[in-house]
Structure 1
Amino acid sequence: MPTVVQGAARYANARHSRQRARGRSLARGNRVTQAFRLPTGGIIDRSRPLRFEFDGTAYEGYAGDTLASALLANGVHLVARSFKYHRPRGILCSGSDEPNALLQLDRGARTEPNVRATTQELFDGLVAASQNRWPSLRFDVGAINNALSRLLPAGFYYKTFMWPPTPRWWLRYEHFIRRAAGIGRSARASIRALRRAGDRRRTGRARCGTRSGARRCARHRLRREPGLRRRLARHE
Structure 2
Amino acid sequence: MTKLSVNINKIATLRNSRGGNNPDVVKTAKDVQLFGADGVTVHPRPDERHIRYADVRAIKPLITTEFNIEGNCREDKFIQLVLETKPHQVTLVPDTDGQLTSDHGWNTLLHKDYLVEMIRLFKQAGIRTSIFVDPVEEMVEGAAATGTDRIELYTEAYARLFLENKEKAIGPYIKAAEKAKELGLGINAGHDLDLQNLGYFSKNIPYVDEVSIGHALICDAIYLGLENTIQLYKRQLHPA
TM-score, normalised to structure 1, is: 0.22
Asked which structure has the greater RCO (Cα within 8 Å, sep 6+), the reply is 2
Q: Which has the higher helix share?
A: 2
Larger radius of gyration: 1
TM-score, normalised to structure 2, is: 0.22
